[in-house]
Amino acid sequence: MILIISGTNRPNSITLKVATLYQELLAQRGQASEILDLQDLPLDFASPTLYKSELYSQEFLSLRRRVAQAAKMVFVVPEYNCSYPGVLKAFIDGLEYPEALRRKKGALVGLSTGGQGGNIALSHLTDVLHYCGMHVLAQKPRFPHIHKHMQEGQFTNPLYKQLLEEQIEELLVF
């Protein structure tokens, strides 16, 4: 099973729409997947309880279990202030270290409303995931000006869909 992580907790995000599109493309290939939406994080997860596992809420423990059970993960990551969202970093910090990500396979997709497509955000996240022991697929599609290239949950730019499909093909054999 592939776990697709929508890398923001922003309501009505384009990130979740791209994660859903990714899931649809996986289903077309007969590949099972689930979306982990960071909007589902409990409101208090980033309180000091993040550093005391005995105080974790059942909701947060459930999300951690989903990560632990996944063999492969896809991170759909928006660019926030020239990096990836802090909520994603806090979520990663709350995972069991190093077991949660070690030796697992990961793929990254970058989004931005600007012209870089999340390039620096993906670089930062790659560094963190490597530190956690995850093997990250080299192919990392980036989608600049994403807000101009999505309509009704689909890409309007055919190149964007092609890049996602190419990454999926690589992920399935990774």
The number of domains in the chain is: 1
Q: Could you give the CA distance from residue 134 to residue 104 in angstroms, rounded to a whole number?
A: 5
Residue 166 pLDDT more than 90? yes
pLDDT of 144-156, one tens digit each?
A: 999 999 999 999 9
Handedness of CA 73, 29, 143, 19 (dihedral sign): negative
Give the lowest-confidence range in 33-37, 59-63, 140-144, 154-158: 59-63
CATH number for the domain spanning 123: value is 3.40.50.360
Say what percent of the chain tops pLDDT 70: 100
Per residue in 45-60, pLDDT (tens digit) is 777 777 777 777 888 8
Overall average pLDDT of the 85-100 stretch: 94
pLDDT at position 54 is 77
CB 174 within 8 A of CB 108: no
Mean pLDDT for 8-36 is: 97
User: What pLDDT score was predicted for residue 43?
Assistant: 86
CB within 8 Å of 161: residues ≥ 6 apart: 25, 154, 155
Give, as one character, the DSSP assignment of residue 146: G
pTM of the shown model: 0.96
Question: 38 near 6, Cβ under 8 Å?
Answer: yes
The beta-strand segments (E) located in the chain are 2-6, 33-37, 72-78, 105-111, 135-136, 142-143, 150-151, 154-155
* Residue 167 to residues 54, 82, 92, 146, 158, Cα–Cα distance (Å): 38, 23, 23, 18, 14
DSSP secondary structure letter of residue 70 = -
State which residues form the domain around 150: 2-173
Structure tokens at 43: 């409101």
